[in-house]
A and B are shown apart, each in its own frame.
Chain A
């Protein structure tokens, strides 16, 4: 337990990912879902940084920057969609948006 190896970071990243996944699958509130997605992305980032540190180059970190850029874009657009959805449907619950069911 003592020396913190890369594996610890990987385990942490996996745990955070799974927490985020549970949040995506389980919560009805769309805002919470979007936040859970941010959790997942962060988990990925932790993973990347860990490997970047282990490999000794900055490639992982550059990748992580791009992930953050992505997360930003996605959060912005996602929230825009949420607003539009709220305006039309008056609800932010994912369960109630099932127009595409068979």
Chain B
């Protein structure tokens, strides 16, 4: 079986799963009254009298709502198990969904592995497979007057970069699917969830396997759509619906930049295919734009705007924390491992472009670093376990862009790779915690769970250690490489390094704050919740274990050169090297390596991380009363951090309110008067014309008909008079006739 020629199957399997769910899902999992997954504490819109007792479980408003009012944030309880069992709808065919959808992803994973295996034996390691031409050649003028043709193929490109991506997407995706079969078991809309999830995997695979920017954009938009669908999965909850809309709209802002970038690229470079673009850029026709913003820089900048939206960088990161309204598997898959990494992938794919534009690369690195420290600062004081992880994701994405910005593209991808493992692990573990606590998400009401949910505890421990950057686990290798590159690359510098280091410290701190508050110490769990604490089922803990193993081992593929381990332990860089090689990079590589500095920096980052861990332990385990005192003394700063630097409020003031008012204005007066007026006017016009028609028909047409009969009747009157019935009268007419007849001959 030639897997390479069947790479078109890799996105097709999950699409098939989604299609099957779309057509047959309802039959496999019929819902008692509606398809809507009802987040507990939400009043269903429809008549609840019909479903008396089964709803009484779902209406445990008590604690769920009290949480909402405690803080200024709207907390979303994406799942609420023990106390508010939704509707136990285990139809006999539900297992089919559990088999089918993860199975499709597993198939994709197997095919991916096979294809990559065969790719590795190929040289050069590029395999392009064009299935058909979607948009055939349209000639257009390039910026420099040349004629070029725009052709968009449905084509797949498998090379080292996309191979890493498909492994991440299908591998981690499969584990998350398996996890979700257990996690979403008690929710309505089971088939809908898995259909969306599979659809998302399809679009993500299209994104990473595309061979041209246009098809990548198709996948780009598609994952945005699925993100919206999945964030707003509990769409009857206002906050969830709003979060979905926010995600989509903010993404859209980025997409506008992406499209502009694509158009400019077409105009300047003449094609959107990766191979063509890379060939043109490497051909030496364009010199590196040293200073200022030339055309290429503008292209790169616009593409980066798109990446900002998708990968939640400043200023378009505001959707990611709100996206935690979606179910936890969604957060894990989309907002940790895959969708948000699409931006990083795209930047890496456009490496040739960014290599030629140092100014834009500088912007990328700066934005990445800034986002990293901003998000980390917000994560320090959040109380919702998922929010902490969300801001952590934003922060780690910042790291990836920092790496890409300083030219270390393979490091960015490497961090993407390891981050997928431990961030997905962390999200799934948090979901497991929430599941076992029956829906509790506030860390202030957790604690002391270490012995009660051991597997979750240990796997989360592994994940936290990994993200903190302790040597031996995955996070250390990738993060450390980023910090070194930030310091030593010609595009980097000590400032960027400093920001990165501070962020690393904060990362370690807030992660272990999370760990301490959740698992250690005295239990602050509410009594009615405490009675039901149970470990999650195997379908959930097995993926956790596998991801934990991955978090440990994944990093060993990219050990630093400093450690001088055998080649196999640096295979990641070697695998990706041909992607980012270019004549310019070769020239720049001659800078010497300062090994002692590198060791020093490595030690510094490890020390900082350990310090952060122990500080967190001190503040939240040993002396838990101190944080409140710190909060009291730094009240204004705490308030700013707690309220996310008021970014959302600023956006509301600047854009949202105006748009809403404008939209309201549009909806209200314009829509009512002009649009509805037009429609009503059309209706009035139709009725009027019909009444004209009626008048015409009644009076003119029928009148003509009736006139005909009237005319005949009128004519008949004289004739009627003649028809006397008396024969003699008729005889008389004969005589008259003869008279006339003779008369003619008389006068002739």
Contacts and interface: CB of A to CB of B under 8 A. Distances in A.
Direct contact of A and B (CB under 8 A): yes
Interface of A: 21, 24-26, 33, 94-95, 97-102
B727 to A, nearest CB: 6
A94 B731 CA distance: 12
B725 interface: yes
Given A21-B735, A25-B735, A101 B728 contact: no
A101 B724 contact: yes
Nearest to B732: A25
Given A21-B735, A24-B731, A97-B725, 17 more contacts: A25-B728, A25-B731, A33-B728, A94-B727, A97-B726, A97-B727, A98-B724, A98-B725, A98-B726, A100-B725, A101-B723, A101-B724, A101-B725, A101-B726, A102-B720, A102-B723, A102-B725
A98 B727 CA distance: 8
Contact of A94 (B720, B728, B735): B728
A25 B731 CA distance: 7
Contacts of A102: 720, 723, 725
Contacts of B732: 25
27 contacts: A21-B735, A24-B728, A24-B731, A25-B728, A25-B731, A25-B732, A25-B735, A26-B728, A33-B728, A94-B726, A94-B727, A94-B728, A95-B728, A97-B725, A97-B726, A98-B724, A98-B725, A98-B726, A99-B725, A100-B723, A100-B725, A101-B723, A101-B724, A101-B726, A102-B720, A102-B723, A102-B725
B84 to A, nearest CB: 92
3 cross-chain pairs, A with B, having the tightest CB-CB distances, nearest first = A101-B725, A98-B725, A102-B720
Nearest to A96: B726
Nearest to B726: A98
Contacts of A26: 728
Contacts, number: 30
Interface in B258-279: none
Nearest to B720: A102
Interface of B: 720, 723-728, 731-732, 735
A99 B727 CA distance: 11
A19 B582 CA distance: 135
Nearest to A21: B735
Nearest to A100: B725
Contacts of A94: 726-728
Binding site secondary structure of chain B: helix
A26 B728 CA distance: 8
A70 to B, nearest CB: 18
Contacts of B735: 21, 25
Contacts of A100: 723, 725
A15 B723 CA distance: 29
B740 to A, nearest CB: 15
B726 A95 contact: yes
Nearest to B722: A102
Contacts of B726: 94-95, 97-98, 101
Nearest to B717: A102
A100 B725 CA distance: 4
A101 B724 CA distance: 5
Contacts of B727: 94, 97
A95 B728 CA distance: 8
B723 to A, nearest CB: 4
Contacts of B725: 97-102
A94 B727 CA distance: 7
A68 to B, nearest CB: 22
A102 B725 CA distance: 7
A35 to B, nearest CB: 14
A21 B732 CA distance: 9
A3 B724 CA distance: 48
Contacts of A99: 725
A101 B728 CA distance: 13
Nearest to A24: B731
A25 B735 CA distance: 9
Task: Identify which of B723, B724, B726 gathers the most chain A CB atoms within 10 Å of its CB.
Answer: B726
Nearest to B719: A102
Contacts of A21: 735
Q: Which of A25, A99, A100, A102 has the most CB of B within 10 A?
A: A102
A37 to B, nearest CB: 10
A102 B728 CA distance: 16
A95 B732 CA distance: 13
A99 B685 CA distance: 58
A53 B626 CA distance: 162
Contacts of A97: 725-727
Nearest to A95: B726
A13 to B, nearest CB: 15
A73 B726 CA distance: 23
A50 B341 CA distance: 132
A25 B723 CA distance: 16
Contacts of A25: 728, 731-732, 735
Contacts of B724: 98, 101
A83 B727 CA distance: 17
Nearest to A30: B727
A95 B730 CA distance: 12
Contacts of A24: 728, 731
A33 B723 CA distance: 20
A26 B727 CA distance: 11
Nearest to B723: A102
Contacts of B728: 24-26, 33, 94-95
A97 B726 CA distance: 6
B104 to A, nearest CB: 89
A24 B735 CA distance: 11
Nearest to A28: B728
A63 to B, nearest CB: 21
A100 B727 CA distance: 10
Contacts of B731: 24-25
A98 B723 CA distance: 9
A5 to B, nearest CB: 22
Contacts of B723: 100-102
A102 B719 CA distance: 9
A102 B729 CA distance: 14
